[in-house]
Structure 1
Amino acid sequence: MNTSRNPFVRFPGVLFATFLFVIVWLIWQSTKVSIDANPMTLLESDRRHLETYERISEFLNDDTALVISIESDQIFTPAGFDHIRNVSNALTGQDGLVDVKSLTHSYKPVRKGFSFSMVPFVPAGELSEEQIASIRDFSITHPLVRNIMVSHDGKITLITATYKRDLSTSDLRQAFKSETENLLKPFDTPDFRVKVIALPFIAQELSSAFVHDLYYVLPTTGLCILIAVALTFRSLSCLLLLLMSEVILTSALPGVLRMAGFTLTPYNILLLPLLASINLTLLTHQLTALRRTDPDLGLDERFSSMLDTVFWPSLFAAITTAIGLGSLAVCEVSQVRNFGLAGTVGIGTIFVWSFGPGLSLLKLGCRVLPSAVLPKSVHRSRPTSFYGSLGQAAANCRWVTFALAAIIFIPALFAVNRLNIDIRAIFFLSPESHSRQMAEMIDSRMGGINVVQMDFKTDKPNGINQLDFLNKLQDVQEYAEGKGKFSSTYSYASLMAMMNSIWVGDDSGQLTLPTSTLTLNIFVLALKAFEYPFLQALSDEKQQTANLVLRTTDIPSTEFVALLESIEDKATAIMPETVSVSAQAGLHTVLKADRDIVDAQLGSLCITAVTMFAIMTLLWRSFRLGILALATGLGPVAVLALVGAIFQVPLNSVTVMVGALALGIGIDDAVHLITHWLHTKRNGSTENEALVMALEAKGPAILCTSFILVSFSLSLLWMSFPPVTHFGWLSAVAYASALGAALWALPSLLGSKKKP
């Protein structure tokens, strides 16, 4: 007689065959999935670099910018100029090119009578040594050339090319990358070292690196999982059943996420092996419970008994894990939010599969391979297993749990304020990445990659073209330069001072403002007529707001904010009341980036903890048990806080997800263990007897699933994406801590010193 009410157990063949069409369709959808390595997602959580990029994009009319560096000791030689000119000319032949700016393809204003004209920065033809020396001195000293086109030591020059070109797909980006690399390859010589960086190239670099890394990660994860399952069940039949179910679900999961509207990125691609590991944990609990049923019963009755033991704990465990992932949706950083939402969809899919078509597959497999559900008689002969002895030892030494709790939780409260929330997009790339190496070169040798703008808004249009205002703006700029922290400063005042030096023929390098309003107006008209780029960058169209642009190397956010605040305070004191001074754009973006990450961690943990406590209290109808489960679940989170503070692991948009995830998965073990303990206790067993039986029933599955999750996490150390490797070893620490909490801390609180 079939006692199960689950239709997938009662009619496994018909229902699995029916759902097989859906599964095949989802697997077909999975083949259409690709990795979206849009580098803008890297910048979203690093507001400083994002603001820098947005300002440059606005200046370039949102064209695609490609930056080429040429490093050589011969930059300022005839051979060097020829080399730069040849590279620039070669770029002009590319499709979609808008403009090329380089030493040989740029112009500068010179006085011509009572007006200005634009002449080549490097004149064509043969140049004398004096001319070359003059060009070099001008390039490494002039504030609008140094660190923009030429490094301060004169050994690196940058070529900037802008394009209007369709780069919306991976194939188009790869074609553009290959075309550019082939074009530049002949110019990369031992004497002239050529490098290139562009956001489309970073996208291809990330995508290629992930595909390469997966060849190492997947086999490593698979091998570790095989070892864990083999040691737990010691049955080839069980291994085959698990692998069949795992392969089908893992193949269909990308299709499920695609149909739900999610795309795979370097952030949420972690979900695939993570969800596959979670699916294995659920299968392990099912098979373990199935093998512990009475072998004298029929297969239908054994499945029914297994479902009575596993279904409700698995349902609430899935809910708690989904809550942990779903709580990440409160974060304003889109990749964190999407990770949480996609993870919630994945957990729901796993549960539906495990107690739906997957259950039918499991029953059909048990019919074909009946040895898969044979109990291990060796364990039945033991009066008390290792797990039971461990639980009794934990109950007898409860003081160890309280001592460890004090050692972990109290320092963790202080460690929270020491977490590293200084987000740097550059650290999202591997140290071996060509893009990162060039970005670091620009940061260290070309004046830095942080750019922030301070706005000085006057009370009327054309208000910035007043000598008194410009003198005060120049005072603020000189104060900023005096700080010694800025590699470069640019302002509307320094632009006018540059024009004045050209007007009066001052080659000393000392920039001084004009003393005549008429002369100042001539400068403004000339710059507007030539559509000089710096005029657009340093003032608005109405000439009512002037800008002071400050550039630094990649310094910590706290130091960066303090520096900006000091400049803003000084500017406010210098400027008249009719001029409003604001660096809030720069300050706001930096502080918001840090606050978003902290809020995401605290918000997700609070939501997860409160919701889980309410669900567990409802499940067990016990406030005490809800507190015990939550306390043991928070232990791994406290360990994470300590480890993160000690090793200063960046709390970025990837690692921020570990806390809520660890809490959700950590409580899963508590749900299975306490539910079994409570059920046994209500059937007449004492606390310690129930504890021993619960550990004997759930201990092997908990150990196996923990090993699976730790193996998955450690396999991520193969990845070349630094945040993913941080995620890997942090989550491994969390899962190992959760295992200790489940097999020691929780039993010590459930049992008593009195032996059964």
Structure 2
Amino acid sequence: MRQLWLGWVLKHPWWVLLGTLVLVLLMSSGMSKLYFRGDFRVFFAADNPQLLMFEQMQDEFNKSDNILIGIAPADGQIFNTTNLTLVKQITDAAWQTPYSIRVDSISNFQHTEADADDLLVADLLLDTAQLDEAKIAHIRRVALAEPTLVKRLITADGTVTAINITVQLPELDKNKEVFDTFGFARQLTDEFSQRYPDVRFYLAGVIAMNHSFAYEAEHDARTLIPVMFIVIVIMLALLLRSVVVALATVIIIVVTITSTLGLAGAAGIFLSTATVNVPTILMTLAVADCVHVIASVQFALSRGHDKQSAIEYSMQRNLMPIFITSATTAIGFLTLNFSEVPILADLGNMTAVGVMLACLLSVVTLPALLAVLPVRPGKVKPQHQQDTAMDKLASFVILRQRLLLPAMALLMIVFAGFISLNKVNDEAVKYFSPATDFRQAMDFLDQHLTASMSMDFVLHSGQSSGVNQPEFIAAVENFSQWLAEQPEVAHVNSISDVFKRLNKNMHADDPAFYRIPQTQDEAAQYLLMYEMSLPYGLDLNNQLNLDKSATRLTAALRNMGSKEITSFEQKSLQYFASQFPQYQASAASTALMFAHIGERNMASMLQTLPLALVLISLLLVFSLRSWRMGLISLLPNIAPAAIGFGIWGLYSGEINLGLSVVAGISLGIIVDDTVHFLAKYQHARHEGNNAEAAVRYAFNSVGRALWITTAVLVIGFSVLMLSSFRLNSDMGLLTAIIIFTALVIDFLFLPAFLLKFDTKESQHHA
């Protein structure tokens, strides 16, 4: 069958190329259906419990999607005429932000005070023309004494302030809506930067984060793919020493990528921060297949074969290894379907399909291309002449096998021992490089205010208007104070503070009455008077639901890892349940969602790895037709990932969403080297060679192809390190480390292992 198929391909190469063209055009037609989504919700499945809780909270209260504009004057004084005027002007202009429903700042804070029996409610800064020293002192005194403002919209020392714009997107075209909203805020701050050159502005919040997700993904697509493409072309031309075969490889790469993207579009898959990496990953994987075919053709040509027999020689030796390595790589990526993150599953499926397409094109279209292109035979070497570098390496391994085997085993054990230094840590803000504007803004505002992490708690009274009950308000107040005392919490925004302030106002601003109202009627009356006095857009819907049966309490958190966040959630809910069993509480926030997804994703990936390992091992046993060889291959396939994660434990120690999938991905890729080396080794053994001769033959026939493909793969994944999106850059770096480690193990440990434990079979063949 193989001979018939290959004979037909080589006899009718133009028909093969025409058929490929038609098939590629059909598959690529779906590219027009591709679209891009960059909002943070793409990381969560529709039935994700934290997302459902978050959405329920968003429905019950005002949306919490926001843009936070940080304002930091060079003189460090917010409370002066110039800077208070600036705050007032931006606050007023911010209402024009697309889809905005609320703007909060120190200037429009609804300050309350008593006037005889009346309650006066007004902006803290209503008219900048009235600003004088007395007015500024009054604004400063009120703002720095108000718990709902300090550490949320103004620093305790009055050096930095922020304006919070709450938006409600219609979600018809999320990407456009985010870019429109963020674009307006950016234009606004740019205009004020020109008018106030001594003031620095920072844009943070959920909308800024969504914009950064989308922007960085699109930026990666525009920059990394062209960089990777150029690097691969140059490397292939240099390493394969032929522009023609480099061109053939490029053709296979291009049609693989366009076909994969077309099939994804037809299947309804959208592009995201994860799937924009598919072209870059497929470039490296498609190259690996092509290099093995081409290197073997060049090897045969150098031994005096004509072009057709050289292609036949290459396909006879590479057909099964290419299929097996492609299948194992596809299995590795298909394990991402067990991920809790939908876009990682999309990444896995798209890459798996692309890998198998690359396999098909490499064994059908590439031979046809090589048959019609002017591939030169190069300098013919005698049969006995070996690849000098590879032969020297083979001699070194054979000579030093007794030292290499224990030394490599010891190194593997030592580095694998550092795996325990890693911990799962997912912070959405840290997904972005410190060089990005968004990360710098969040880091600055986190340092001075509380911008990046928060946890919303919904406390249910169990009945309509229950929030007016003094005992419920007392429960809210108790919980707020407990939260404020926790080391993880920087600020608490609670409705109980509003009730205490209103109670004081309604008792002639007597500080002694800064406490919870004593009766439900009092609380209801105060709240009604206050709400009737509030202007449009500044009501209490962000803290109270419609029937006033529940309140939302927001705890701003200090920077911490995912385990700490989930622990804090559990600790907080347990405290409330133990102290107030008559009420119900739930928690939600974007930080909490990412914390949970990181933990669950790592757990699901660890559970999936054994399945992938079993499937890959069975494929290896099938391809090598030997249980013994299949078992021998296990160690060099497992060890690189163990060593890689050990090195990562020393280097960073933080495992995020991107890294949680690396083990599965790399497991499929690194099998490539092992399969090709063992296939050539086994071929030599079946011809009657002893273990030493078989090792030497494997190095000479496939060693060059292995280091070329490894170099391309390492550089390919290293290109992802240029990404400002840490999920991509970290994944690229760790995968590159693992792939390089796999080559070292296959060149130093695997042959030494074979020389030690494959002696009986040698005597049998002898």
Q: Are 1:630 and 2:631 matched, yes or no? A: no
* Counterparts of 1:464 and 1:263, CA distance in 2: 44
Deviations 1:45-89 (A, max 9, x none): 9x9998998699557744863332332345333333332333233
Of residues 161, 168, 188, the one that matches 2:165 is: 161
Letter in 1 for 2:72: E
Deviation at 1:204, TM superposition (A): 5.1
Change in 2 beyond 3 A, CA 1:507/1:490: farther
Deviation at 1:107, TM superposition (A): 2.9
Letter in 2 for 1:723: L
* Counterparts of 1:515 and 1:604, CA distance in 2: 58
* Counterparts of 2:273 and 2:130, CA distance in 1: 51
Q: 1:427 aligns to what?
A: 430
* Counterparts of 1:309 and 1:130, CA distance in 2: 89
Q: 1:556 aligns to what?
A: 561
Query: Contact 2:253/2:358 (CA < 8 Å) preserved in 1?
Result: no
- SS across alignment from 2:628: helix
Q: 1:70 aligns to what?
A: 71
Of residues 196, 202, 215, the one that matches 1:195 is: 202
Deviation at 1:150, TM superposition (A): 2.4
Deviation at 1:617, TM superposition (A): 1.7
- SS across alignment from 1:146: coil
Change in 2 beyond 3 A, CA 1:127/1:582: same
Q: Are 1:706 and 2:700 matched, yes or no? A: no
Change in 2 beyond 3 A, CA 1:299/1:340: same
Q: 1:320 aligns to what?
A: 328
Letter in 1 for 2:439: R
Deviation at 1:177, TM superposition (A): 4.7
Of residues 575, 579, 583, the one that matches 1:574 is: 579
Letter in 2 for 1:361: L
Change in 2 beyond 3 A, CA 1:261/1:10: farther
Deviations 1:411-464 (A, max 9, x none): 52x544431311111112222322222222332212343222345444554445
Higher mean C-alpha displacement, 24-33 vs 731-740: 24-33
Query: Contact 1:489/1:548 (CA < 8 Å) preserved in 2?
Result: yes
Deviations 1:260-296 (A, max 9, x none): 4333333222221221111111111111222333766
Within 5 Å, give how 1:531-680 maps onto structure 2: 535-575=540-580, 577-580=581-584, 589=593, 592-680=596-684
Query: Contact 1:140/1:154 (CA < 8 Å) preserved in 2?
Result: yes
Q: 1:718 aligns to what?
A: 722
Q: 1:475 aligns to what?
A: 478
Letter in 2 for 1:270: N
* Counterparts of 1:200 and 1:703, CA distance in 2: 45
Letter in 1 for 2:277: L
Q: 2:15 aligns to what?
A: 14
Within 5 Å, give how 1:240-389 maps onto structure 2: 240-250=247-257, 252-293=259-300, 299-365=307-373, 369-371=374-376, 374=377, 376-378=379-381, 380-382=383-385, 385-389=388-392
Of residues 69, 86, 89, the one that matches 2:89 is: 86
Change in 2 beyond 3 A, CA 1:545/1:635: same
Letter in 2 for 1:718: L
Deviation at 1:13, TM superposition (A): 0.6
Query: Contact 2:66/2:205 (CA < 8 Å) preserved in 1?
Result: yes
- SS across alignment from 2:156: coil
- SS across alignment from 1:630: helix
Deviation at 1:637, TM superposition (A): 0.4
Deviation at 1:620, TM superposition (A): 2.5
- SS across alignment from 1:504: coil
Deviations 1:352-391 (A, max 9, x none): 22123333222211xxx141xx264347442685434534
- SS across alignment from 2:272: coil
Change in 2 beyond 3 A, CA 1:563/1:118: same
Q: Are 1:441 and 2:444 matched, yes or no? A: yes
Query: Contact 1:389/1:692 (CA < 8 Å) preserved in 2?
Result: no
Letter in 2 for 1:355: V
Letter in 1 for 2:456: Q
* Counterparts of 1:383 and 1:698, CA distance in 2: 12
- SS across alignment from 2:70: strand
* Counterparts of 1:97 and 1:573, CA distance in 2: 39
Higher mean C-alpha displacement, 139-148 vs 58-67: 58-67
* Counterparts of 1:291 and 1:601, CA distance in 2: 40
Letter in 2 for 1:618: F
Change in 2 beyond 3 A, CA 1:55/1:529: farther
Deviation at 1:732, TM superposition (A): 1.9
* Counterparts of 1:558 and 1:15, CA distance in 2: 55
Deviations 1:648-687 (A, max 9, x none): 2532222223222221111111111212222332233223
Letter in 1 for 2:12: F
Q: 1:402 aligns to what?
A: 406
Letter in 1 for 2:428: A
Change in 2 beyond 3 A, CA 1:448/1:158: closer
Letter in 2 for 1:698: V
- SS across alignment from 1:148: coil
Deviations 1:166-214 (A, max 9, x none): 7827666555555544444332122433333465555555555556566
* Counterparts of 2:217 and 2:572, CA distance in 1: 42
Query: Contact 1:420/1:648 (CA < 8 Å) preserved in 2?
Result: no
Q: 1:746 aligns to what?
A: 750
Higher mean C-alpha displacement, 73-82 vs 59-68: 59-68
Deviation at 1:98, TM superposition (A): 4.0
Change in 2 beyond 3 A, CA 1:424/1:164: closer
Higher mean C-alpha displacement, 346-355 vs 80-89: 80-89
**TM-score normalized by structure 2?**
0.86
Q: 1:488 aligns to what?
A: 491
Query: Contact 2:425/2:654 (CA < 8 Å) preserved in 1?
Result: yes
Q: 1:134 aligns to what?
A: 138
* Counterparts of 1:123 and 1:424, CA distance in 2: 39
Superposed CA RMSD: 3.8
- SS across alignment from 2:516: coil
Query: Contact 2:253/2:287 (CA < 8 Å) preserved in 1?
Result: yes
- SS across alignment from 1:310: helix
Of residues 691, 695, 699, the one that matches 1:691 is: 695
* Counterparts of 2:617 and 2:12, CA distance in 1: 37
- SS across alignment from 1:292: helix
Q: 1:186 aligns to what?
A: 191
Higher mean C-alpha displacement, 603-612 vs 565-574: 565-574
Higher mean C-alpha displacement, 242-251 vs 734-743: 242-251
* Counterparts of 2:64 and 2:591, CA distance in 1: 27
Change in 2 beyond 3 A, CA 1:67/1:622: same
- SS across alignment from 1:289: helix
Q: 1:5 aligns to what?
A: 5
Change in 2 beyond 3 A, CA 1:557/1:168: same
* Counterparts of 1:585 and 1:205, CA distance in 2: 19
Higher mean C-alpha displacement, 386-395 vs 149-158: 386-395
Letter in 2 for 1:481: A
Query: Contact 1:649/1:726 (CA < 8 Å) preserved in 2?
Result: no
